[in-house]
Amino acid sequence: MRWMITDSGIGGLSVCAGLERGLRETGAGHGIELLYINATPEAQGGYNSLPSQSERIRVFNNFLRDTYQSFLPDQIAIACNTLSVIYEDTAFSSQCPVKVRGVVDAGVQMSKTYLRSQSEKHIIVFATETTTEADTYPRKLRGAENVTVVAQACPGLASAISGDASGAACKLLLKNYIAEALDQFETQTTSAAALLACTHYGYQAHVFKELLADKGVNTEILNPNDLLIEQLLAENTSMRQTSNASLSVRFVSRFPISQDVIHAMGQYLAGTAPLTLNALQNQEVIPDLFEYR
């Protein structure tokens, strides 16, 4: 059985790693291949750098169409907020013969669960520019009574996190983004949830909490990656495996991931997800993976 996990970059490797850990711990990984495919078309430009939403939809549709035909996965997990937001707008979404789960649905569900337990209902949605512009999280959460939702775009933060596991580059950018986010509240808040609406952000979740605490804000971190992993693992218990083959992981990309990024990711994944890290280190580069231009 092949599970395809995709992201516009390598942030979604956290989901792949979580699945690896869960399947190993439960002994339920026999016969499963975790196939991680990087959906980014070029090394120097991701979906956020494309000129329009229609272009992002076109490229992602081509990616889904071509990779599905090449690899025939049994299910697909979109471990990317940017791409989850636009999935329903692709032609592929109306034709896909297998189940597709997106991290945005997990993020909305997690946020609503949190809000039901709180008297002060404040959420800061930290996200990429594309996710913020789409207004998906605020639109789906503002319907709840007395909820204040602040959306904060964080340009460059994903790259800073994947390129520097020390957290220094993340802190440098995030200090400004947190200040901007808090300025959006009409009155000063001392309690809020931080929704990490980019799969990269979970790697440095402690930095979000630390910097918000420095501003006097008691923070609950909401990481949709965790719920998506939980949902996928729960579904696996109902699937019958017919193969005794060991759990395996592959990493596929249209272009090679740099050694600097691989080194940084090694610091995040070493000791917790050896198969995922090994797959990244032995990346499969397929230049014609999907139609781009």
pLDDT number for residue 239: 58
Instruction: Measure Cα distances from 240 to 97, 208, 213, 229, 236 in Å.
Output: 19, 40, 46, 19, 8
Query: Quick one: pLDDT at residue 50?
Result: 85
Block mean pLDDT (10 aa), the chain, length 293: 94 95 91 96 83 92 97 96 92 96 95 87 91 88 81 94 93 97 92 95 96 96 96 77 83 96 93 95 97 87
Please, are residues 258 and 133 in contact by the beta-carbon 8 Å criterion?
no
Q: Look at residue 164 in the predicted model and tell me its pLDDT.
A: 92
* pLDDT for position 232: 94
Bridge partners, residue 218, by sequence: 191
Q: Which residues are CB-neighbours of 133 under 8 A, at least 6 positions away?
A: 53, 153
Total residues belonging to the chain: 293
Tokens 């609950």 identify what position?
220
Question: What is the torsional sign of CA 167, 170, 172, 174?
Answer: negative
Distance CA 136, CA 132 (A): 7
| Secondary structure (DSSP) of 239-293 | SPP---PPPEEEEEESSPPPHHHHHHHHHHHTTT-HHHHHHHHT-EE-TTSS---
| pLDDT number for residue 237 | 67
Name the residue among 179, 115, 106 with its Cα closest to residue 148: 115
- For the chain, domains (ranges, CATH) are 2-102+226-285 (3.40.50.1860), 104-224 (3.40.50.1860)
Closest alpha carbon to 2 in 23, 32, 28: 32
Residue 281: alpha-carbon gap to chain centroid: 20
Cβ atoms 141, 61 nearer than 8 A:
no
**Which pair of tokens denotes residue 266?**
């090694």
Torsion angle of C-alpha atoms 267, 269, 272, 277, degrees rounded to 10: -120
CA 68 to chain centre: 20
pTM surpassing 0.85?
Answer: yes
